[in-house]
């Protein structure tokens, strides 16, 4: 039975005010920022120091990273079930603490097995679980304003990709990689852990509110109007039904969405992981490679708002198809751009692509499958994403060791954005047949 809150109960809860949903957006953005130590854009700036100091080959380090990431990806549904069962308020400080411990582990790197274990921990906890926390918390608090809310959440990732590789590169240059990892561990423990526990509430209903910053009684009035309103919004779908993971897995859209998450993760991780080497092949140093990664983020900042508006007003699967075209263009640009200026243009194009991809992915899952089991369903999506990121670095590393450049592998990888374009186009919102439990 749905809980009814009195005006007196809402008055007693200091968090039950209309703006608190936007506080949640801020916390989600902070979580996404602090996924950064486990993201490839951060790890990439450590790779050359490991190769040079330990004498490991690029293929070996790529293999460690790919294997660790693959194992992490296979465990992501477990993380999703934990989040659904225990809630974001508990799991955020727990996962942030474990990620800090993983950073400390990385600061003591002495052998290949330690590197493998460290890669697994930062990928499972950082790139996987922290990102999953962020991407599933905001949709719990928004329905009609979900696109713009997720675009603001994505700014945490934008800030992370802009700041973290630059900071890590500076710390490595001046103090060494061990100091850099310990720096991020300290920030996780000092900022993310207390913020998560003190400020997160799992769902608006817990404090007598409804989605989109409405009080509970306002939400009931709005819900009665939503079916009519949603019919007139091409980007919106009905959310009356919360799909279970089993129901979602019976739909074509679910599997096409998994494929559309795997592709960009594989390509982006492969290129970003070897970005220092790709840029070095063109005659530029690691500082310029870090600048390229930062330009990604600077472009994402304004485009993220546009992406949120587009997701609220247009069919998300069509927006995804368009974005795969941008990914193909950016791949050709990084391959054939010989000068600093053209590489900066590449970074601009890729930044636009990344902003649209981040926001549209965040909107896609809750719009299609609802809020109740979002952690478990999105956890399976994160598995596809993390597996994709596991598949990316190794073929790039092998291609470089074999051919001495990245031209062949980038040209081969162009097949996948074309496949993603087609997969997105044939993935409109599923409709549940309540009698059979099958997709109509």
The answer to whether 252 and 427 have CB atoms below 8 angstroms apart is yes
Task: Assign 225 to helix, strand or coil.
Answer: helix
Cα 70-72-77 angle, rounded to 5 deg: 110
Which of 49-58, 158-167, 275-284 has maximum average pLDDT? 158-167
Residues 6+ apart with CB under 8 A from 80: 132, 136, 375, 376, 377, 378, 379, 380, 382
Section 64-83 average pLDDT: 88
**pLDDT-based confidence at residue 214 (cuts at 50, 70, 90):** low
Mean pLDDT to the nearest integer, 146-162: 86
Tokens of 350: 């890729």
Average pLDDT, integer, range 247-266: 92
Confirm if 21 and 141 have CB atoms less than 8 A apart. yes
pLDDT digits (tens, 9 = 90+) for 317-335: 999 999 999 999 999 998 8
**Confidence class of residue 277 from pLDDT cuts 50, 70 and 90?**
confident
Does residue 439 have a pLDDT over 50?
yes
| CA distances for 425 relative to 134, 261, 315, 321, 428, angstroms | 27, 14, 10, 6, 7
User: Residues 316, 260: contact at Cβ < 8 Å?
Assistant: no
pTM: 0.74
Q: Which residues, listed in sequence order, are joined to residue 438 by a DSSP beta bridge? A: 433
Question: What is 16-61 written as a DSSP string?
Answer: -STTHHHHHHHHHHHHHHTTGGGSHHHHHHHHHHHHHHH---HHHH
Outline where DSSP puts E strands in 347-433.
Answer: 432-433
Q: Which of 163-172, 280-289, 310-319, 338-347 has the lowest mean pLDDT?
A: 280-289
- Backbone angles phi and psi of 378, in degrees to 5: -70, -30
Burial level of 429, CB count in 10 A (0-12/13-18/19+)? middle
Element (H, E) at 438: strand 438-439
**Residue 275 binned pLDDT confidence (cut-offs 50, 70, 90):** confident
Backbone angles phi, psi at 433, to 5 degrees: -90, 105
Residues 336/317, Cβ–Cβ less than 8 Å: no
Which residue's structure tokens are 């509110």?
209
Residue-wise DSSP of 287-346 = HHHHHHHHHHHHHHHHHHHHHHHHHHHS-HHHHHHHHHHHHHHHHHHHHH--SHHHHHHH
Q: State how far the alpha carbon of 175 is from the alpha carbons of 44, 74, 171, 218, in Å.
A: 17, 35, 5, 55
pLDDT of 272 above 90 = no
What does the pLDDT look like over 305-319, one tens digit per residue? 888 888 888 888 999
Give the DSSP H or E segment for 417. helix 415-425
Could you tell me the residue ranges of all domains in the chain?
16-207+230-439
Token pair of 182, please? 């310990």
Q: What is the distance between the alpha carbons of residues 205 and 239, in angstroms, rounded to a whole number?
A: 16
Nearest alpha carbon to residue 80 among 427, 397, 375: 375
Supply the CATH classification number for the domain 16-207+230-439: 1.20.1250.20
pLDDT digits (tens, 9 = 90+) for 369-401: 888 888 888 888 888 887 887 788 888 888 888
pLDDT at 1: 39
Name the average pLDDT for the chain. Answer: 84
Task: For residue 409, give both structure tokens.
Answer: 């592998």
Given a cut of 90, whether residue 122 has pLDDT beyond it is yes
96: Cβ contacts below 8 Å, ≥ 6 apart: 31, 34, 130, 188, 189, 192, 193, 196
Percentage of residues in the chain with pLDDT exceeding 90? 35
Distance between CA atoms of residues 92 and 136, nearest Å: 12
Question: By C-alpha distance, which of 91, 47, 426 is closest to 270?
Answer: 47
How far apart CA 264 and CA 298 sit, in angstroms, is 20
């Amino acid at each position: 039975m749905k809980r009814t809150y009195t005006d007196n109960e809402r008055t007693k809860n200091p968090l039950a005010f209309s703006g608190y949903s936007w506080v949640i957006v801020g916390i989600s953005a902070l979580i996404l920022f602090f996924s950064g130590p486990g993201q490839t854009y951060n790890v990439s700036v450590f790779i050359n120091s490991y190769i040079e100091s330990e004498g490991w080959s690029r293929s070996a380090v790529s293999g460690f990273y790919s294997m660790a990431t693959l194992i992490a990806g296979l465990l992501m549904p477990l993380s999703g079930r934990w989040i659904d069962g225990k809630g974001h308020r508990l799991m955020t400080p727990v996962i942030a603490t474990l990620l800090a411990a993983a950073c400390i582990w990385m600061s003591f790197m002495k052998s290949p097995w330690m590197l493998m274990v460290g890669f697994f921990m930062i990928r499972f906890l950082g790139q996987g679980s922290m990102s999953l926390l962020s991407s599933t918390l905001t949709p719990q608090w928004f329905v009609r304003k979900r696109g713009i809310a997720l675009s603001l959440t994505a700014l945490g990732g934008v800030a992370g990709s802009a700041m973290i590789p630059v900071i890590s590169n500076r710390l490595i240059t001046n103090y060494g990689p061990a100091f850099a990892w310990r720096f991020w561990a300290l920030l996780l423990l000092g900022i993310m852990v207390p913020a998560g526990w003190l400020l997160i509430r799992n769902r608006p209903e817990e404090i007598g509110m409804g989605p989109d910053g409405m009080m509970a009684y306002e939400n009931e009035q709005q819900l009665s109007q939503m079916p009519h309103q949603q019919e007139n919004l091409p980007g919106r779908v009905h959310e009356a039904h919360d799909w279970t993971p089993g129901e979602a897995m019976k739909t074509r859209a679910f599997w096409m969405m998994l494929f559309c998450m795997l592709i960009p993760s594989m390509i982006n991780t492969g290129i970003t992981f070897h970005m220092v080497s790709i840029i070095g092949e063109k005659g530029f140093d690691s500082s310029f490679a870090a600048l390229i990664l930062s330009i990604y983020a600077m472009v994402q900042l304004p485009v993220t708002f546009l992406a949120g508006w587009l997701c609220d007003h247009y069919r998300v699967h069509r927006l995804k198809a368009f974005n795969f075209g941008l990914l193909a263009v950016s791949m050709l640009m990084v391959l054939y751009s010989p000068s600093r200026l053209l590489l900066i243009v590449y970074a601009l194009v890729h930044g636009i692509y990344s902003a649209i991809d981040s926001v549209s992915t965040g909107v896609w899952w809750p719009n299609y499958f609802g809020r109740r089991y979002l952690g478990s369903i999105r956890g399976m999506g994160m598995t596809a994403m993390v597996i994709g990121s596991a598949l990316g670095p190794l073929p790039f590393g092998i291609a470089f060791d074999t051919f001495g450049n990245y031209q062949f592998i980038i040209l081969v990888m162009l097949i996948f954005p074309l496949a993603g374009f087609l997969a997105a186009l044939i993935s409109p919102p599923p409709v549940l047949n309540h009698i059979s439990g099958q997709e109509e």
